[in-house]
Amino acid sequence: MTVPVRSLHFADAREAEDLAAFLARLIHYDRAAAVRLQAWGGALAVFGRPPSFEVLAIRTARLGDPVELDVTVSAGELLESLEGAGFTVPAAVTGPPWAGLLPPRGGWRELSGLPEVTAMRGAVAAAVAEFRTRDEQLPAERRTRAERDRIGRDIWSRTVGGTGLPLRAVHAAQSLGFLRPGVPVALLSAGSWLRLRTPFGSIAVRTNGLGGLSVTPTRPG
């Protein structure tokens, strides 16, 4: 008989601090956010979907003991359960549609053409400024959510450098605190997925989109 995992312990207390920061940012964008937890061996992966970016955000952590776990929980309850170097697994919730379609664990290959972090952060700042300018130039009768989403799709679907990575993925990485000055970054590919990887977390996006999401920008972090 399989005994459900009740609690997890991190290999280092700093892992809990980093996970708490990630969860707090997700909740900032969506107070009802859910996350999917997957643990295998000595690793934990936490998947979330910040609204408006059309991407998946992934934070990994090292565990003190090998366990197997796959459950979707409330991000807020998970944040509240973090204590010291571990946490109690919250009760499962009904997973949102995105939780059933995650990027693969393996088969990733690194791609070239990704600009430096400074250039990517500059591109996000320029895109936010462009959105605001175009929004301000709209006549009053056209200043609607639909029109703003149209402008957002035009701006954030642009690709970065010589890659197929949409700019919205870079925007999400910066807003969630993943894309920091001077950190190493890599662009990986597996099937229809692209992944922007940093030491603080990853952003994954399907090349054919996650569907059903708006792309109105948020203030960059």
What is the 3 state secondary structure string of 12-65? Answer: CHHHHHHHHHHHHHHHHHCCCCEEEEEEECCEEEEEECCCCCCCEEEEEEEECC
Domain boundary among 67, 100, 133: 100
Q: Which amino acid is at 181?
A: P
Residues 82, 29 within the same domain: yes
CB atoms within 10 A of CB 6: 7
- Domain of 82, in residue numbers: 7-100
121: left (phi over 0), alpha (psi -120 to 50) or beta: alpha
Q: Is 109 helix (H, G, I), strand (E, B) or coil?
A: strand
d(CA 26, CA 21): 9
147 belongs to a structural domain: yes
Domain boundary among 51, 81, 100: 100
Q: 217: closest CA among 142, 162, 136, 153?
A: 153
Q: What is the pLDDT along the chain (221 residues), one digit of tens a residue?
A: 344 668 899 998 889 999 999 999 999 999 999 999 999 989 999 999 998 888 999 999 999 989 999 999 999 999 999 988 889 999 999 989 999 999 998 999 999 999 999 999 999 999 999 999 999 999 988 989 899 999 999 999 999 988 999 999 999 999 999 999 999 999 999 999 999 999 999 999 998 755 433 333 444 33
46 belongs to a structural domain: yes
In contact, 22 and 46? CB cutoff 8 Å: yes
Domain boundary among 100, 130, 150: 100
Give how many domains the chain has, as a whole number.
2
The domain that holds 50 is classified in CATH as 3.10.150
Which residues neighbour 129 within 8 Å (Cβ) at sequence distance 6 or greater? none
Q: 213: closest CA among 165, 181, 169, 162?
A: 169
Q: Which amino acid is at 100?
A: G
First-to-last alpha carbon distance for the chain, in angstroms, is: 46
Residues 89, 123 within the same domain: no
d(CA 185, CA 129): 24
pTM: 0.88
d(CA 39, CA 10): 12
